[in-house]
């Protein structure tokens, strides 16, 4: 049971923490249409995370509610990948982070609908429609950022060079993931990885951008070892429930 | 003139049925230029006094979402119910809000 | 077709008869220059208000105390952006571009509602903004659905429909907090104390002191006066406050015999200071908007260039 919850939380935490970053960007977009689109992605991701947290609370059966997972866990108990907690340095960073994650999500959830686990299957069906659109949107943006002006190409290549070191953590199975894959419940990451690379190469080619070579990869998020960013995210997110633990909102 | 153009190009017609209302798509006409398109649209789509306003738009300028894309393109109606007022509780005694 | 161009007098007479008959004026119709100028000013101010209004609430998205409230707040702020967008579009039918409107905002030539120059200091402010600020805005916007300019009227119809959840979500926050702990009740009362008067000021100066009202009423751009709308608002809102145990911060508030309320004096000196730019957050709000716009310049540029390549 603990392994399963751990696995569920990895998925939910990826969605939640990325949605947090996107939420920070509300009213900071380059134009109104983009601001609205960005918020739609954030809302989709919170929705996915919330469904999974509620299920975690249910199967755990210890009287916790779904919100206790985002709001009352410590940093080391969050299992999201390092990529999604990286800050919004500029629009290029936001979009590169989004594209790399969307591509992962698309193939990940596409595999998830084959899971033996009925709950994951249902989440997969719900999420796949949303992440299909997310990937379409961020792919279009990558091409416009890379194949538009020279300035934009430079900024986007820099974002890619900076964030690439966090991109392979998706495919390094954690203990929970290995166990769940063996059980026929978890998503086979090798399958996702091959498809992901193909998609990323295709779009980056069209965007006149290149994958950084031989870059050392950082990971640890899935084991609860995060970058310094997550502490600040949680401090902010958990402020009210931490300060007023008895209050209901 | 190519054979496909011997009937003129396709124009989509939008009509405002009452003053102040939004323009709605009603159909299309063929015409060789924008002035004729307006006149053709008038003669075809407002024969029964349907309109107080009329637009024509070249059909080829319309960008459409295809049926195949629709499944993931459009938000399912049961998602994001918090965008509707009935999602919220009100204390008894509030008449309307 | 060869027709003699009608004189300005004829055009004006035709325009005024349309207004009298409750017909809408559409973008291609002839309109007096003053009418166009009034609309340019009013609709763009309305659009800017929606967009700047994203900021005080945006301040709390990352600190929303539950996933439910976070989703609601995000969706609400997204609506504000969308409504700004509808309104800019309506304003663009008057022959001025969105870029130009934004430039006027940044140069201080265009205003936005002063209420957004107040800070959102605790979570109950999110409740108070939805309940009072949106409540006041909706009172005005319901009335504006009947405005004489077609694109503005249609934008208002859509906006009113979409905003129908905004006030409820705000009141729900206040209600839950008033049912909650002592801390929460204090936050709720504190938020009401700070937002009540700015909300009343949203309707603008009293009718006898409002420079922009007379022509706007004559041409049916505005359908009800500032004071009429303000009265509607307080008569609806005060019972809602009392029902959940909140005290309206007006020592001179009177309940009249006919069941309506009369509010105490509004501090117009404060109002004009905030309008002039001296409110608690004027600088911050405008700088935020400029910064986002400037930071987005290269993104708009590359999208434009890439769009040309695509054609």
Question: pLDDT band for position C129 (50/70/90)?
Answer: very high
Q: C81, A50: Cβ pair inside 8 Å? A: no
Residue C132: inside a domain: yes
Asked if pLDDT for residue A206 goes beyond 60, the answer is: yes
Can you list the domains of chain B with their CATH numbers? 3-63 (3.10.20.520)
Lowest-confidence range among A15-29, A202-216, B68-82, C74-88? B68-82
Question: pLDDT band for position A248 (50/70/90)?
Answer: very high
- Count of the separate structural domains present in chain C: 1
Q: Is B47 on the interface with C (CB under 8 A)?
A: no
Q: C153, B20: Cβ pair inside 8 Å? A: yes
Residue of C136, C145, C114, C129 whose CA lies nearest to C76:
C129
Residue C169: inside a domain: yes
Residue B2, pLDDT score? 59
CA dist., res. C203 & res. A203, Å (int): 51
Distance from CA of A117 to the nearest CA of C (A): 25
Q: B72, A133: Cβ pair inside 8 Å? A: yes
Q: Is A246 on the interface with C (CB under 8 A)?
A: yes
Distance from CA of A129 to the nearest CA of B (A): 4
Residue of A106, C67, C68, A98 whose CA lies nearest to B72:
A106
Asked if pLDDT for residue C248 goes beyond 70, the answer is: yes
CATH code of the domain containing C44: 1.20.1260.10
Mutate to test the interface with B, among C20, C24, C127, C158 (most CBs of B within 10 A): C24
Residue C214: inside a domain: yes
Residue of C278, C101, C78, C52 whose CA lies nearest to C166:
C78
Q: Is A68 on the interface with C (CB under 8 A)?
A: no
Residue B49, pLDDT score? 82
Domain ranges of chain A: 2-240
* CATH code for the part of the protein at A2-240: 1.20.1260.10
| Type and span of the H or E element at B55 | strand B53-58
Residues of chain C with C-beta less than 8 angstroms from the C-beta of A34: 296, 299
CA dist., res. A194 & res. C298, Å (int): 33
Q: A132, B72: Cβ pair inside 8 Å? A: yes
Q: Which residues contact C216 (CB under 8 A, 6 or more apart)?
A: C38, C42, C222
Taking residues B49-72, report their average pLDDT: 88
Residue B25 phi/psi, 5-degree rounding, is: -70, 130
Distance from CA of A6 to the nearest CA of C (A): 20
Residues of chain C with C-beta less than 8 angstroms from the C-beta of A17: none
Span A50-59, pLDDT tens digits: 999 999 999 9
Residue C3: inside a domain: no
Q: B20, C169: Cβ pair inside 8 Å? A: no
- Which of C180, C291, C306 is nearest residue A147 as measured by Cβ atoms? C306
Residue C2, pLDDT score? 55
Q: C24, B83: Cβ pair inside 8 Å? A: no
Q: B80, A47: Cβ pair inside 8 Å? A: yes
Residue C1, pLDDT score? 53
Asked if pLDDT for residue C263 goes beyond 70, the answer is: yes
Asked if pLDDT for residue C109 goes beyond 70, the answer is: yes
CA dist., res. A19 & res. A42, Å (int): 4
Tell me if B54 sits within 8 A of B38, measured CB to CB: yes
Q: In a 10 Å sphere around its CB, with 0-12 CB exposed, 13-18 middle and 19+ buried, how is residue B81 labelled?
A: exposed
Residue B78, pLDDT score? 75
Residue B95, pLDDT score? 75
Q: What is the mean pLDDT of chain A?
A: 97
State the number of CA atoms in the 13 A half-sphere of C96 facing the CB: 18
Report chain C residues touching chain B, CB-CB < 8 A: 23-24, 26, 68, 71-72, 75, 79, 150, 153-154, 162, 164-165, 167-169, 171-172, 175, 240, 243-244
Residues of chain B with C-beta less than 8 angstroms from the C-beta of C169: 82, 88
Residues of chain A with C-beta less than 8 angstroms from the C-beta of B80: 43, 47
Give the whole-number percent of chain A exceeding pLDDT 90: 98
Asked if pLDDT for residue C92 goes beyond 80, the answer is: yes
Question: pLDDT band for position B4 (50/70/90)?
Answer: low
CA dist., res. A11 & res. A221, Å (int): 12
CA dist., res. A33 & res. A28, Å (int): 12
């Amino acid at each position: 049971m603990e392994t399963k919850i751990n696995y569920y939380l990895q998925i939910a935490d990826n969605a939640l923490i990325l949605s947090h970053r996107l939420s920070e960007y509300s009213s900071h977009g380059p134009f109104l249409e983009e601001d609205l689109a960005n918020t739609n992605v954030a809302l989709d991701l919170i929705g996915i995370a919330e469904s999974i947290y509620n299920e975690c609370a249910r199967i755990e059966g210890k009287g916790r509610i779904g919100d206790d997972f985002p709001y009352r866990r410590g940093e080391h108990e969050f299992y999201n990948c390092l990529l999604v907690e990286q800050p919004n340095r500029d629009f290029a960073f936001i979009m590169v982070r989004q594209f790399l994650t969307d591509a992962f999500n698309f193939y990940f959830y596409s595999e998830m609908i084959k899971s033996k686990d009925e709950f994951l299957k249902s989440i997969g069906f719900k999420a796949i429609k949303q992440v299909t659109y997310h990937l379409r949107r961020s792919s279009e943006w990558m091409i416009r950022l890379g194949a538009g002006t020279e300035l934009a190409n430079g900024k986007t290549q820099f974002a890619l060079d900076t964030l690439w070191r966090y991109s392979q953590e998706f495919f390094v199975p954690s203990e929970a993931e290995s166990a769940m894959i063996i059980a026929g419940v978890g998503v086979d990451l090798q399958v996702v990885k091959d498809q992901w690379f193909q998609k990323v190469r295709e779009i980056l080619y069209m965007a006149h951008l290149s994958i950084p070579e031989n870059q050392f990869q950082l990971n640890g998020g899935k084991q609860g070892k995060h970058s310094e960013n997550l502490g600040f995210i949680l401090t902010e997110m958990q402020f009210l429930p931490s300060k007023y633990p008895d209050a209901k909102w | 003139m190519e054979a496909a153009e011997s009937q003129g190009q396709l124009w989509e017609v939008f009509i405002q049925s009452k003053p102040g209302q939004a323009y709605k798509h009603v159909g299309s006409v063929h015409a060789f230029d924008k002035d004729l398109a307006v006149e053709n649209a008038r003669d075809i789509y407002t024969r029964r006094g349907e309109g107080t306003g009329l637009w024509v738009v070249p059909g080829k300028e319309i960008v459409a979402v295809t049926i195949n894309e629709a499944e993931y393109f459009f938000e399912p109606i049961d998602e994001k119910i918090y965008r509707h007022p009935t999602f919220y509780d009100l204390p008894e005694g509030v008449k309307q809000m | 077709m060869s027709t003699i161009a009608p004189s300005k007098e004829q055009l004006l007479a035709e325009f005024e008869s349309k207004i009298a008959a409750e017909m809408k004026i559409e973008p291609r119709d002839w309109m007096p220059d003053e009418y166009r100028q009034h609309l340019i000013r009013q609709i763009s101010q309305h659009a800017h208000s929606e967009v700047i209004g994203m900021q005080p609430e945006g301040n709390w998205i990352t600190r929303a105390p539950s996933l439910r409230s976070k989703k609601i707040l995000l969706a609400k702020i997204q609506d504000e952006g969308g409504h700004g967008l509808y309104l800019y579009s309506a304003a663009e039918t008057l022959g001025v571009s969105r870029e130009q409107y934004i430039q006027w905002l940044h140069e201080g030539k265009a205003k936005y509602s002063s209420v957004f120059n107040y800070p959102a200091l605790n979570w109950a402010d999110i409740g108070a903004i939805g309940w009072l600020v949106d409540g006041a805005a909706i009172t005005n916007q319901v009335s504006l659905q009947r405005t004489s300019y077609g694109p503005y009227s249609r934008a208002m119809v859509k906006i009113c429909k979409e905003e129908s959840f905004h006030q409820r979500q705000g009141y729900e926050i206040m209600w839950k907090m008033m049912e909650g702990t002592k801390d929460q009740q204090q936050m709720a009362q504190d938020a009401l104390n700070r937002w009540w008067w700015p909300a009343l000021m949203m309707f603008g100066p009293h009718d006898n002191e409002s420079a922009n009202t007379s022509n706007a009423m004559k041409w049916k751009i505005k359908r009800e006066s500032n004071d009429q709308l303000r009265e509607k608002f307080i008569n609806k809102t005060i019972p809602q406050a009392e029902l959940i145990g909140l005290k309206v911060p007006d020592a001179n508030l009177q309940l009249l015999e006919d069941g309506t309320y009369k509010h105490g004096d509004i501090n117009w000196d404060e109002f004009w200071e905030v309008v002039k730019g001296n409110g608690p957050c004027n600088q911050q709000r405008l700088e935020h908007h400029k910064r986002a716009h400037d930071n987005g310049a290269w993104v708009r540029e590359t999208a434009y260039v890439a769009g040309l390549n695509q054609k």
